[in-house]
Structure 1
Amino acid sequence: MKIPVTIVAIFLLGISKLFAAPLDTLSITGKLLKAPIYSQIANGYMHYDTITDEDKKLAYQTKAIKYTMLALHYFSRAKDSIGLRGCFNNLSRVYRSQKEYSQAKWFALQSNAISRAKGDVSGIISSLLDIASIKMDIKDYPLALSDLNEALKLSTKNHLNRAESAVQLRFAILYNLTDNYDKGDVALKRHDFINDSIRKHDEAVLAARIKAEEAFENKKKFYTANNEKLYNNLYFKRIASL
């Protein structure tokens, strides 16, 4: 079977453009492709906490670190700060699971630094919670309290209710670890109150959306019925006039 000349010409033109492209462009394209692929593979191993077999769990953690490091390398070369932050978060989580607290804290701090540089308040709060949790693991309670206070200030100032709820839960954990049960109860009640408020708000928004959709459908049916009635009236009048 002969291949049409036009297709051959288009193919050759594409190949020529590919080889004519600057090496830097091809290199950047390669980085952009490799980074998310390695990241996706790593994410597949980040479910190690669902595995009960300790040897298999360790194998998953090891592979999660391996592929996250590979993704980190290419995200760094591509100067992708969001990709880097995701890698730092994953590495911090795995190392914390392995009780390698120095490494876990270092990667959490890198994530925090990126969020601060980008002015991402939600990211700052999330990383502060991770850092505080690691400090609680190593019984560095005063510094953990400092991180939580900053996270609380940011969440309330920016009206981030879900973030504040998460902060209050960490406060409850910290206060219970330090035998300050009264404050722990207050923090837990605040956490529950915020969650209840969020639930009621979400339910109200959903109910309003359903009501609006029903009203739209009713109007649609009304206008459709009226249009059909008008059309039928005009049709029969025209027939009668013939």
Structure 2
Amino acid sequence: MKKLFLLVSFILAATTFAAQAEEVDKDSIDNLKQKLQLTTNDTLKGPVYTQIATEYLKFDKQPNRNLKAYYQTEAIHYTLLALHNYSYYEDTTGIRSSFDDLAKVYIAQRKFSEAKWFTLQSNKISRQIKDVPNVINSLVKLSAIKMELKENKMAMRDLNEALKLSIDNKIPNLEAVVQQNYAYLYNRLKDTEKADIAEKRATEIMQQVQQDADKPVIISFDNTPDKPKKPVTVKKKKIVVATQKTLKTSSIKKLASL
């Protein structure tokens, strides 16, 4: 009886928490929609659309399938509005962010062809503005999408490029992410030996990153006042006149220009 009571209490608490979370989301969405109505400057509407879409992108937190589907639909709707606004004002950062958000929804809906297209557009923009970390991130996302589409060779190619970029640009945390995705791919290919190696490498890199982050930074400040210097006593010396000798000039070598 006691166990049953505890179970019922847990279910009620979980339901209450979900309802409260849903109410908070609803309030913030309503506030953002009011903010949108008050925004008369078109150049400022894009970010507000994105803020509303961001709230709807929390579809994974919704308690049932219908509400989750509704949130996904609204996320796409407001992201497309943001995308249209960013495109009109040529805001490349906003455009790329919108592509990433759309890809996220389509991946959740298992619409991998659509997700692939939007991720490719995000990758293209990152390359144009030479944003290496986001190039790597988009390549990793592309590899994951291509795995779902059973395009394993293309997924491997994306990971190879992402690995090279992360190593060449010394971004170890992203290198670890790439290695983790190698492990996923090798497991799909039933190559457990290579999967284990990649998994181990990812763990080693992250441990090193953590160790480097935990190292104390020692800053020394020399605040000690200068000690007063003792007066220097100059001893009188006899002046010795030496006979002047002819000095030989040393040969000067010319430096070759690089």
TM over 0.5: yes
Match for residue 36 of structure 1 among 18, 28, 47: 47
Q: Which residue of 1 aligns with 2:69?
A: 58
Matched residues in 2 for 1:198 and 1:50: separation?
31
Structure 1 segments (4+ residues) deviating >6 Å: none
Q: Which residue of 2 aligns with 1:166?
A: 177
Offset from partner CA, 1:178-233 (integer Å, 9 cap, x none): 101000000000100010000000000xx22xx54xx77xx7xx99xxxxxxxxxx
What is the TM-score of this pair, normalised by structure 2?
Answer: 0.69
Equivalent residues of 1:31, 1:75 under 8 A apart? no
1:124 aligns with 2:140: no
Q: Give the secondary-structure state (helix, strand or coil) at the position aligned to 1:192.
A: helix
Shift of 1:129: 0.7
Equivalent residues of 1:38, 1:70 under 8 A apart? yes
Matched residues in 2 for 1:31 and 1:171: separation?
44
Match for residue 195 of structure 2 among 180, 184, 197: 184
What is the TM-score of this pair, normalised by structure 1?
Answer: 0.73
Q: Which residue of 2 aligns with 1:46?
A: 57
Cα RMSD of the aligned pairs, angstroms, is 1.8
Shift of 1:68: 0.4
Matched residues in 1 for 2:213 and 2:80: separation?
39
Aligned residues: 186
1:109 aligns with 2:115: no
Structure showing greater Rg = 2
Q: Which residue of 2 aligns with 1:77?
A: 88
Gaps of 5+ in 1: 1-28, 224-242
**Amino acid aligned to 2:90:** K
Gaps of 5+ in 2: 1-39, 226-258
Shift of 1:47: 1.4
Equivalent residues of 1:165, 1:194 under 8 A apart? yes
**Amino acid aligned to 1:73:** H
Shift of 1:54: 1.0
Q: Which residue of 2 aligns with 1:143?
A: 154
Equivalent residues of 1:135, 1:143 under 8 A apart? yes
1:196 aligns with 2:207: yes
| Bigger helix share | 1
Matched residues in 2 for 1:153 and 1:189: separation?
18
Equivalent residues of 1:85, 1:114 under 8 A apart? yes
Offset from partner CA, 1:10-36 (integer Å, 9 cap, x none): xxxxxxxxxxxxxxxxxxx83321000
Matched residues in 2 for 1:36 and 1:47: separation?
17
Q: Give the secondary-structure state (helix, strand or coil) at the position aligned to 2:150.
A: coil
**Amino acid aligned to 1:129:** V
- 1:89-108 correspondence runs (5 A): 89-108=100-119
Shift of 1:109: 0.4
Equivalent residues of 1:31, 1:78 under 8 A apart? no
Shift of 1:51: 2.6
